């Protein structure tokens, strides 16, 4: 069980890195001041990613403190799923505007 958690945590760290790289790429391709509405949506995306990052950080801290409960294990699954969804959708959007 411990090995499974460690593996999942590693997966989560990589997902978090991918998330950051995705938002970095999005920042590169976003045209600021094109329209205030677009800038607003852009910041909403940034905020959503920041919230997810905070959620992931909480999990990583729980792991470091060896406080992985069954509830945290469920959080890991949720965070992984959300991270993958985020990355897939951000990259899909980037592809459409390139």
Summarize as ranges the residues that interact with another protein (CB under 8 A).
Answer: 16-17, 20-21, 23-24, 27, 30, 32-33, 36-58, 60-61, 64, 75, 78-79, 82, 85-86, 89-90, 92-93, 96
What angle (nearest 5°) sits at the alpha carbon of residue 30, between those of residues 40 and 36?
30
Cα 32 from Cα 72, distance rounded (Å): 38
Residue 44, Cβ neighbours under 10 Å: how many?
A: 10
Min CB(48)–another protein separation in Å: 4
Min CB(24)–another protein separation in Å: 5
């Amino acid at each position: 069980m411990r090995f499974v958690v460690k593996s999942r945590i590693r997966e989560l760290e990589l997902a978090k890195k991918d998330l950051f790289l995705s938002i970095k790429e999005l920042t590169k391709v976003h045209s600021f001041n094109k329209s205030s509405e677009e800038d607003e949506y852009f910041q909403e995306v940034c905020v959503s990613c920041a919230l997810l990052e905070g959620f992931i950080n909480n999990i990583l801290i729980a792991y470091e403190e060896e406080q992985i409960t069954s509830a945290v294990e469920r959080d890991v699954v949720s965070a992984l799923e959300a991270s993958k969804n985020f990355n897939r959708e951000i990259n899909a959007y980037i592809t459409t505007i390139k």
